[in-house]
Amino acid sequence: MRVLIVGATSGIAQVVVRLYARDGARLLLVGRDAAKLQAVAADAHVRGAAAVETLLWDARQWERAGEVVRRAREWLQELDVVLIAHGSLPQQAELWHNPVRAIEEFHITGTSVIALLAELVPVLEAQRRGVVGVISSVAGERGRAAMAIYGAAKAAVTAATAGVRGHLAQYGVRVITIKPGFVDTPMIAHLPRSGLIGAMIASPERVGRRIYRALQRGRPDNLYVPWWWRWVMLLVRAIPEPLFKRLRM
C-alpha cells in the first residue's frame, strides 16, 4: 500500500498515519513544520510502516503543489491512497478588516487543495485506480458570519472535490469528500468546551478511524463524521435566510 498524506501533522491525519503504518504501508508525509513532521514519521516507523519519507510544503505556496505530486510519483511510483488533510481555521473577527490576510487564509484552506487536485487528476487518470480523500468541513455547506472565509474556502473544496469525483469515476478512481464537524484539535482551541458546542466535539481518534475505514472501502462519496452531522446540516440549510441572519451563527 502506497499512501500520500498532505497535512500529516494535523490531529486527524496523525491517526490515519498510525493506522496505515500498522498495515505496513509505504508513506509519504507532507507538512510545513519540519520538527512535527519528523516526529510523526518516527512514530510511523515504530508502528510498522514499510518505509516513510517526508516532504516540507507550506500551503501558502499553493503554486508549488505540482512539486508535491511529482515527489509522490518519484518516491511512491503509484498512489493507492491520497489524503489531503491540511487547512487553517482563523478567527473571523481578525479578518473582517484585513483583506490581505483573508485571501491568504482562503489560499491555505481552499486554493492549495484545488491546486493539489488539479495536479493529481492526470496522474490518477493514467493510473486508472486509487482512492482520494479530501477533508472539507460541514462549515462549507452554508455561509456563516462566524466562519465566513473558512466556510467559503471549504465550500470551494467541497465543490471542486465533487467535480473531480465525477471526472475520475470513469477511470476507476474513487474520491471522497470528508466533512467533519467540531474536532478536538488546536484548530478549535478558541471554542468553548461547555454547552451544545462542547457536546458536539469529536475526538481526532474517532474521526481518523472513520476516515481510514472509508479510504479502505473507497466509499461513501460524502462522509460526514460523526454521521449525525448529515442531519444537523440538513436542518441548518433549511433555516430561512431572514432567521439565519439573526441567529449570528
Give the count of domains, the chain. 1
Collapsed DSSP state (helix, strand, coil) of residue 40 = helix
Query: pLDDT tier at 188 (50, 70, 90 boundaries)?
Result: low
pLDDT at 22 over 70: yes
3 pLDDT more than 70: yes
User: What would you report as the CA-atom Rg of the chain, rounded to the nearest whole angstrom?
Assistant: 18
| Per-chain mean pLDDT for the chain | 93
pLDDT tens digits, one per residue of 139-152: 999 999 989 999 99
Looking at the predicted structure, is the pLDDT value of residue 199 above 90?
Answer: no
Please check the confidence at residue 216 and state whether its pLDDT lies above 80: yes
Measure the CA–CA gap between 123 and 129, rounded to whole angstroms: 10
The span from the CA of 65 to the CA of 61, in Å, is 8
Confidence check: pLDDT of 246 > 60? yes
Residue-number span of the structural domain to which 68 is assigned? 2-247
pLDDT in tens, 59-109: 999 999 999 999 999 999 999 999 999 999 999 999 999 999 999 999 999
pLDDT of residue 189: 53
> Per the structure block, which three cell numbers stand in for 19?
493506522
Measure the N-to-C terminal CA separation of the chain; round to a whole number of Å.
Answer: 42
Query: Within 10 A of 128 (CB to CB), how many other CB atoms are there?
Result: 11
Give 183's pLDDT tier (boundaries 50, 70, 90). Answer: confident
* Closest among 223, 221, 157 to 6, alpha carbons compared: 157
Distances (CA, A) of 103 to 65, 99, 150: 18, 6, 10
What is the CATH number for 58?
3.40.50.720
Whole-model pTM? Answer: 0.93
Q: Are 204 and 11 within 8 A, CB to CB?
A: yes
Query: Averaged over 9-16, what is the pLDDT?
Result: 96
Q: Does residue 222 carry a pLDDT above 90?
A: yes
